[in-house]
Amino acid sequence: MTLPVLADAVVRDGSGFPARGDAAMLRALMAVDNVFKSLLPTTPVAIDDVSPLLWVATEEGSRTVDLAYWRTAEGDGGAYASPQLFASTLPSAVAAEVARYFRMSGPVVVVTGVGSAPSVPPAEMASLLGAHHVLALVLHPDYARATILEVASRDPLP
């Protein structure tokens, strides 16, 4: 089963994106790059009020954040490494923020490397996991686009 694309977000610099998230949320995510931020305002379009499996496919998370963190860590033996940036280097940081902001208590799965070996496409993979509801976020390798796939259900949605 291939999930239908609900939103295909073009987010080269984060501008021009519908600001459905509130300012406080975005301020709290200053450590997260624009691609990650842009996912958050779009997510409510997809999740409505269900708590699906949150499934994120990414190559390696945020390169921007990784390098920013490394710059804080390279001097003085790393004595001044940024704890906030460190937490955001995890590829799962965006999923955690989405879950936190929208109070999603369901399963969270972040996968990388999908497609780099014989494999099924990300959207089909989500459905193969057997979840009743799936919200799949696909961060494209060039980091210029993020695709949000519609909640899929084996049961009627509420």
Which residues make up the interface to other proteins (CB under 8 A)?
A: 53-54, 59-61, 63-64, 66-67, 69-71, 73-74, 76-83, 86-93, 95-97, 99-100, 102-114, 116-120, 125, 128-132, 143
Which C-beta is closer to other proteins: that of 26 or that of 96? 96
- Tell me how far apart the alpha carbons of residues 150 and 77 are, in angstroms, rounded to a whole number: 46
Which C-beta is closer to other proteins: that of 16 or that of 83? 83
Least distance in angstroms from the C-beta of 17 to other proteins: 21
Least distance in angstroms from the C-beta of 9 to other proteins: 20
- Tell me how far apart the alpha carbons of residues 33 and 13 are, in angstroms, rounded to a whole number: 9
Which C-beta is closer to other proteins: that of 26 or that of 73? 73
Least distance in angstroms from the C-beta of 132 to other proteins: 6
**Residue 126, both tokens:** 């989500």
Which C-beta is closer to other proteins: that of 58 or that of 147? 58
CB 111 within 8 A of CB 122: yes
Cα radius of gyration (the chain): 16
Residue holding tokens 């109070």? Answer: 103
3-state DSSP of 39-62 = HHHHHHHHHCCCCCEEEEECCCCC
Least distance in angstroms from the C-beta of 79 to other proteins: 4
- Tell me how far apart the alpha carbons of residues 153 and 15 are, in angstroms, rounded to a whole number: 32
Least distance in angstroms from the C-beta of 33 to other proteins: 10
Which C-beta is closer to other proteins: that of 41 or that of 52? 52
Would you give the distance in Å from CA 19 to the centre of its chain?
Answer: 17
